[in-house]
Structures are given as C-alpha cells and as structure tokens.
Structure 1
Amino acid sequence: MLTLEELEHYLLQNDSTFEIIAHQTPIHSTIDAEPYFDIKKAAPTLILQTNLGLIALIASSQRGRLDFNSLKLAFGYTKLKMADKKAVVERTGYYPGAIPLIGHGLPCIFDTSLLALDYIYGGSGDELHTLKIVPDDVVRLNNVTAFLE
C-alpha cells in the first residue's frame, strides 16, 4: 500500500505525467466528482473476484453498467463478481472506493477506450485525493494482463 507521498514519488521516478487533485469530501458518484474534473474521463478501479483470485478492472465510467457474465466469458473465467470488501482490504490495503489506479498490486484488465483520452481521473489510494494521469502511464505501470475492448 502506497501513501500519497509514496505514490507521487513512484510516479515521478517513472516519468509519469500526472497531477494529484485534493478535494474536501470523498467522491462516491459522478455528481460528487463534477466540481473537480471532467466526469467523462473518470476511470474507477474495481476489484473483482475470479476463480483465479482478485483482479483489478480499470474501466471508463462512460461504459455504464458492466455485464459480468459477458466479461466472464470474454476473459475465460468461470467465476467473476465484485470482490468482498474484507478480501480487498486484506489483499491490497485499500478500501473499495479508494482503490488507486496505480499501486494496488493486482493483475489488471484495462479498458482500451481510455487510451483515446489525454488524461483519466481515478483513485489515488486516499479518498480525499484523485489521480489525474495519462492513460498510457496507467498501462505501463500496472500488471495489465488483458484489455477490455
């Protein structure tokens, strides 16, 4: 688990283009995010339980509701659902809702539609800060094992 300072240091060391945006209250919905960034560029990190263990899914908020049955078939899992909060905290050190785009330590599925954007906005590991970052850096700095088309 990375602190904000450790995340910033890691991103600087890895020549990432980013900004950490502070806000007064946690962001739990797109309505909460509107004062701080373009919600069309929001990319939440979801932690999913599969038959092979936990994975992170970084998907565009523009996708709307995800069809887990379709995802399960597309990626060859026999089991795919939202991970249990306790399992997420035990494995990553982060609570759901504060999962960072980078630093969660899980294999990752990345939504390719995000690559068309100049920046994306997502978790920093701290519920009062949002990470603004170039999508290519998110792919480069994560263990991306599959892409969501």
Structure 2
Amino acid sequence: MYMENIKDILEKNNFSFELIHNDIPIHTAKEGADYFKIDIAQIAPTLIIYTNVGFYVLIISGGRGHVDFKEVKHLLNCKNVRMATKDEVKLITGFSVGNVPMFGIPLPYIVDKRLLKFSFVCGGLGEKNTTLKVDPNILLKLNKVIAILD
C-alpha cells in the first residue's frame, strides 16, 4: 500500500525512478553496493535518530560507514543524539528497521550532502526486498528537510 503511494507521488511529479525487487534481503550498505554493483556511497539507508528535542529521519550515504553523532549534535544544536531503538522505529514510523522508506515519514529530515553528487541513489521504500533507485535531489523536494549533513 505505502509503496503505491510513493510511486504515485513520483509519477505525478514526473520524477524518474526504478523499483527493484531484490532476490535476497539486503541488510547493509556493503550488501546493497555489491548486489546493485554500484558505489557504496550511492546506498542511502534511512535511519531514525532520537534527540532531546525529538525524532528525526537521517538519510545517510553508505560511504560514511557510521553516523557521526557529534556532527549531528552540532548540526541540530542539541545535547543528546542516539539511534532510535527497533521498537521506537516501529512505533514512530510504522516500519521495521531495514524497511524504513526514504520518503513520507512525518518527521524532519536530515539528508547527507554526499548523496547529492550522484545521478541516482538506492534506498528503502517501506517494503521488504524492494529497493527504490531515484535521483537524490528528490529527497530534498519531497521531504521536510531541515538540515544537510556536510
């Protein structure tokens, strides 16, 4: 159901995209890069982070390898930042960890600047074993982006 909504939004806005049904589950950026035979930096995991001022969606480049919480704290000007727990992710987004979509979560977004240099990135669509291949600039157009990670 959710996937259809995203497809409709992308089509209505004439954004080019591709839905890819994976033969295998993809759990890490490295697995995604190997599976799609692309640069690991083009893999765009959607993470939920918790801060003392609320939850945020963080779409990060797989090339980073990890979240720099110090950088996120500085960017958001807040004291505490951590990854949301599996239960929090499910409660806040309605999706399980690993299936959080790149679009449509009603939270503020932070997007990794590194993703924007590519013609396409691959990330979640809210459905198991389905990947969305899309122009990363769409992330800025369709989400409530409040910060860009340098």
Task: Report if TM-score (shorter chain) is over 0.5.
Answer: yes
C-alpha deviation, 1:96, in angstroms: 1.1
Is residue 3–residue 125 contact of structure 1 (8 Å, CA) maintained in 2?
yes
C-alpha deviation, 1:73, in angstroms: 2.3
CA RMSD of aligned residues (A): 1.5
CA distance in 2, matches of 1:77, 1:15: 37
Identity of matched residues, %: 36
For 2:35, the equivalent position in structure 1 comes to: 35
For 1:75, the equivalent position in structure 2 comes to: 76
Is residue 69–residue 82 contact of structure 2 (8 Å, CA) maintained in 1?
yes
Amino acid at match of 1:32: E
For 2:51, the equivalent position in structure 1 comes to: 50
Distance 1:31 1:25, change over 3 A: same
Q: What TM-score, normalized to structure 1?
A: 0.91
CA distance in 1, matches of 2:126, 2:76: 27
Q: What TM-score, normalized to structure 2?
A: 0.91
Distance 1:86 1:59, change over 3 A: same
For 2:87, the equivalent position in structure 1 comes to: 86
Structure 1 runs (4+) greater than 3 angstroms displaced: none
Amino acid at match of 1:22: H
Distance 1:80 1:31, change over 3 A: closer
CA distance in 2, matches of 1:21, 1:53: 33
| Residue range with higher mean Cα deviation, 38-47 or 131-140 | 38-47
